[in-house]
Amino acid sequence: DAGVIQSPRHEVTEMGQEVTLRCKPISGHNSLFWYRQTMMRGLELLIYFNNNVPIDDSGMPEDRFSAKMPNASFSTLKIQPSEPRDSAVYFCASSLTPGSVEQYFGPGTRLTVT
Amino acid sequence: GENVEQHPSTLSVQEGDSAVIKCTYSDSASNYFPWYKQELGKGPQLIIDIRSNVGEKKDQRIAVTLNKTAKHFSLHITETQPEDSAVYFCAANLRDDKIIFGKGTRLHILP
């Protein structure tokens, strides 16, 4: 099993540009999570999907952030327009169910907005 | 809101000694407590978890304890080795199926 796949691994962009992060969950997993990790705030849940449906997006910081899951094997997190304070490592994770089970994390995308 | 507090933020131990990381949680409905290890440049990886129906769980050199009354849980690593150096996160589930993470403990194993 390839595990959770994220792309790109690194992204450097200028303030105001649109950024799209991509995630392929583990095959057969029904739940997908997007997290943001910073030194100041630690690991924060942004949004999670169950069976491709967004269940809780209360962690999305602003309307500039949006996430989609068009099918069971693909999800995107988009930031438009990007700002320097969005610089962080963004992780995608998947699990069999949304409840109390192991979440498998991808390697992350390190985003730098200048 | 609900949260998980983790201490210490940094821990240095001599190789071969034990390391203990402690967490407290606020949601009385939490019943699942995973621990994740994050190595440099990688995503967090589950190393052990415990559910509220048990007070202790052990896997080789790693053990977790849970005190539901006090809302405390701890990670114990014995006979530490250089490869144990990493950032460790405790976490707890919330009643709405989310998992909330502590801020992490950076563990340094000294030679």
pLDDT in tens, A23-64: 999 999 999 999 999 998 899 999 999 999 999 999 998 899
Please tell me the predicted confidence (pLDDT) of residue A48: 93
Please tell me the predicted confidence (pLDDT) of residue A62: 86
Contacts of B44 in chain A (CB under 8 A): 43, 91, 105
* CA–CA distances in Å: residue B17 to residues A54, B78, B110: 45, 6, 10
Task: Determine the 3-state secondary structure of A55 from DSSP.
Answer: strand
Please tell me the predicted confidence (pLDDT) of residue A1: 63
Contact A100 B93 (CB under 8 A): yes
- Specify the range with the lowest mean pLDDT, choosing from A6-10, A16-20, A39-43, B77-81: A39-43
Number of cross-chain residue pairs from A and B with Cβ atoms under 8 Å apart: 46
Please tell me the predicted confidence (pLDDT) of residue B52: 87
- Specify the range with the lowest mean pLDDT, choosing from A102-111, B31-40, B96-105: B96-105
Question: Whose CA is closest to A112, among A25, A3, A15, A13?
Answer: A13
Contact B43 A102 (CB under 8 A): no
Please tell me the predicted confidence (pLDDT) of residue A108: 97
Summarised one tens digit per residue, pLDDT across range B25-49 is 999 989 999 999 999 999 999 999 9
Question: Whose CA is closest to B27, among B51, B3, B52?
Answer: B3
- Specify the range with the lowest mean pLDDT, choosing from A7-11, A25-29, A38-42, B103-107: A38-42
| Mean predicted confidence (pLDDT) in A60-77 | 95
Query: How many CB atoms neighbour CB B45 within 10 A?
Result: 15
Question: Whose CA is closest to B5, among B105, B103, B108?
Answer: B103
Name the pLDDT band for A107 (thresholds 50, 70, 90): very high
Interacting residues of A61 by C-beta distance below 8 A, sequence separation 6+: A46
- Beta strands B72-77 and B19-25, pairing class: antiparallel
Predicted confidence (pLDDT) at residue B96 exceeds the cutoff of 80: no
Summarised one tens digit per residue, pLDDT across range B36-86 is 999 999 999 999 999 988 899 999 999 999 999 999 999 999 999 999 999
Contact B97 A45 (CB under 8 A): no
Report the gap between the CA of B59 and the closest CA in chain A (Å): 16
